[in-house]
Amino acid sequence: MKRRNFLLSGSASLATAGLTACGGGGGDYGQFDAALPETGALRSTGPVDAASGGAITAAPGESDVHAPSRAVKQAGTATPTASVRYPFGARLAPYSAGILPSQNVWTMDDLLRRQYDAWKAARVVPVGWIAPGGYAVQSSQWNTLTVSEAMGYGMLLTVLFAGHDPNARSIFDGLLAVVRARPAWAVTPHYAGGKYLMDWKLAANGSSMGQGWNALDGDLDIALALLMADKQWGSSGGWNYLQEAKNTIEAIKSWNVKADGTMEGLANRSHNRTSDYMTGHFRAFKAATGDGLWDKAVDRAYWLTNHLQNSFSAGVGLMPDFVMNADSGWPIPSTGYIGDGNDKEGYFWWNACRNPWRFASDYVLSGDWRIQQVTGRMIDFFQRTSGGDPMRIGTGYALDGRLLAGGNSGAYHGPICAGACTDARFQGFLDAMWNWNATHLTTGYYDSEIQLLSMVVASGNWWTPAGSFGSGGGTVTDGQQQTAPQQPAPAPAGGNVLANGDFASGMANWENWGNAWVAAGALNVGTGAGGAAQQVGGKLAAGTRYQLTGTANITGAGEGVYVGIKLMDQWGGVLVDQLQAVSSQSPTGVSISFTAPQGAASGYVFVWKNASGVVGVVDNLSLAPAGSGGTTSQPAPAAPATGGSELLVNGNFASGMGNWENWGNSWVSGGVLNVGTGAGGVAQNIAGKITAGRKYQVGITGHLTAPSEGVFVGVKLMNSWGGVLVEQLQLVNSLTPASASIAFTAPQGATSGYVFVWKNANGALALVQKLSLVAVG
């Protein structure tokens, strides 16, 4: 059986009529293969990272450790630099709805980075004979180089993993060069804008194999990736990404969209494909162009999916691959042979399997209840019929819910994982789906791209440029210069800068991040994941030392509730990022000290709690000066208390890496810890070295060899079941040796923990002369 047939639709008569081919992806490989063997076709020899062999595993020390699941509201694992504005792991676009897996973000991000590297090594190939510097995402078919669908996936992945992959932009540009070098030549005689659509299928030698027509899904992804590239890198380089995006969006509108917003992706323009109902893309296109047609496209997509579920899959909630008479008042599932050329087109098959991912990627950003509704029906079905066991989910279903094909596949299980992010009732199922995908990764074409993109959504790392276009905001044309935003004038240094920190006025002045309310004059965060935040940008005086205080508790035994502070520069680069966990069942004091850095343009104080069986209660939050501080962006370390002994072994690295666990890319040279240009760091276990109730200070002296986001020093303490009790980190980004420190009070119940150094991949080395941990009270 074929997974999805490539349809060479069209003929001489069809070409004369100017009709569009179906397009599509997948390939002629076995249906039940999850990890696909190579076929002897092109192999990558370009500048792609070789992936380590064996299974992808969690980073050392991170397995089964839970941090705030709403990753977008906590410290990410990367921060922007001048050249990459949205590095993978930064989570700068808060999800407006949905849930995340009960996983530590560092664990999830490390897994996804390594899987991206493995995917790139297996699938991205240089094709300089098509375009100088060109790249393609290789199909698994022996006679096929690529399809436009694959190129769209590749462009999305490279722009998403920028900041991790130092070659992301050059690979993205190489993919774009091939896209533009192979236009939909059969379209151009009928519509000149066809040159901004891609020929949907290329033979192994790079020649046209798809009769010159475009595939709508590939072009939709290419257009969105171009908008994301404009936000990621700006449009003043070799490619004007924003203009290229607008050209492709206009071409899609003119060739593939009806006036009422119905997609036209097939040779018969009354038929279409449900996996082309990419509502999140449509919203981004509207934001970029202001064209109201894309609002109609969102509405029409919802109407069609709701109609198909209610009329042909009532009580089940599935939808078919292809739809007939999609532009009418009574669309019906395909009776076969109108799209991919098989008799399964009216079933939930190898096209529609992507829909939970596509809809979830829209819902987490838009919060549109309609998208949640249609996605929830599908996930309810899979959760109910599988009993929550991913191994019982097959690879093809009739619309009445009958299982048509067994086996498991990342192309099904990845999207179901993303779809489960749309409602808190799926938390347990989401965790099971994440774990299945994390242990069943593949680099075979179609499965691997869909699985990885779905996991990006599920991990909180998805974003689109909707509402924020150009270099730093606004529409940027070629050559347009951006003016740096004005630094807000700081508020007077004295007094509590938080408004309504005692919650006497309910939620006034606080942004509800979900599941939060005020009762009896205290902030409550329910059993689901959620929290609240208050903006403090412009309210802090640079160089002044501040203290964030309050009380917190949880209503039963659980992971805890987090209180934190995060400050960013004008580009979103993290300058201060500290949080403290409270797992006490009686009100317990919270205290975080920091020095307000120069250049802080935005920031917030926040409360966050992961989904659990307890309620978090927070009250009397205050952010006020704690006394005069230094004038640099790094807090001046306090002097250790008299008699405080050093608790770290070999903190000056005189014995090389002795007593330090290498988290990757780290070595000692000349008595100095080096963390290379790739991502990496070190850690030392401090279990049994600290006493509950005592105050401690972690100190670092270090610097960078070139301007970059910086190197992180941190401390993390966990209880016996892995719940995080303390998690604080500080950033050093000086080019000369500088000191920074973190103060914390050792909590009750801490059974494990470590002091660590971490640096994300960038062009600088981190040099650390000394690390220390001493008692200060």
Tokens found for residue 423: 């409602």
- How many residues would you count in the chain? 777
Inter-residue contact 625 to 493 (CB < 8 Å): yes
Residue whose entry in the numeric block shows the structure tokens 């070659």: 167
Residue whose entry in the numeric block shows the structure tokens 């002044």: 544
- In three-state secondary structure terms, 243 is helix
Nearest to 27 by CA among 16, 39, 43, 45: 39
Give the integer Cα–Cα distance in Å for 492 and 267.
Answer: 66
Catalytic residue among 217, 340, 423, 559: 217
Beta-carbon contacts of residue 699 (< 8 Å; ≥ 6 apart): 637, 739, 740, 741, 770, 771, 772, 773, 774
- What is the CB neighbour count within 10 angstroms for residue 11? 12
Beta-carbon contacts of residue 507 (< 8 Å; ≥ 6 apart): 516, 517, 518, 532
Catalytic residue among 109, 149, 199, 559: 149
Give the integer Cα–Cα distance in Å for 121 and 124.
Answer: 6
Q: Is 213 left (phi over 0), alpha (psi -120 to 50) or beta?
A: beta
- In three-state secondary structure terms, 403 is strand
299 phi and psi, to 5 degrees? Answer: -65, -40
Inter-residue contact 563 to 727 (CB < 8 Å): no
| 706 CB burial (10 A radius; 0-12, 13-18, 19+) | exposed
Inter-residue contact 197 to 440 (CB < 8 Å): no
Beta-carbon contacts of residue 630 (< 8 Å; ≥ 6 apart): 543, 545, 595, 636
Element (H, E) at 511: strand 511-512
Residue whose entry in the numeric block shows the structure tokens 């899959």: 313
Give the integer Cα–Cα distance in Å for 766 and 760.
Answer: 10
What are the DSSP calls for 117-150, one per residue?
Answer: HHHHHHHEEE-TTTSTT-EEE--SSTTEEEEHHH
Nearest to 201 by CA among 223, 218, 188: 218
Nearest to 265 by CA among 502, 620, 9, 482: 9
Cα–Cα distance list, 758 to 168, 662, 683, 741, 764 (Å): 21, 10, 9, 15, 13
Tokens found for residue 594: 């920091």
Inter-residue contact 184 to 254 (CB < 8 Å): no
What are the DSSP calls for 579-609, one per residue?
Answer: EEEE--SS-EEEEEEEEPPTT--EEEEEEEE
What are the DSSP calls for 615-650, one per residue?
Answer: -EEEEEEEEEEEEE--SSSSPPPPPPPTTPPP-STT
- Per the annotation, the verdict on 217 as an active-site residue is yes
Give the integer Cα–Cα distance in Å for 433 and 389.
Answer: 8
Instruction: Spell out a b/e string for 674-691, using b for 16 or more CB atoms within 10 Å of the CB, else e.
Output: bbebebbbbbbebeebbe
Beta-carbon contacts of residue 123 (< 8 Å; ≥ 6 apart): 44, 137, 138, 150, 154, 443, 445, 448, 449
Known catalytic residues are 149, 217
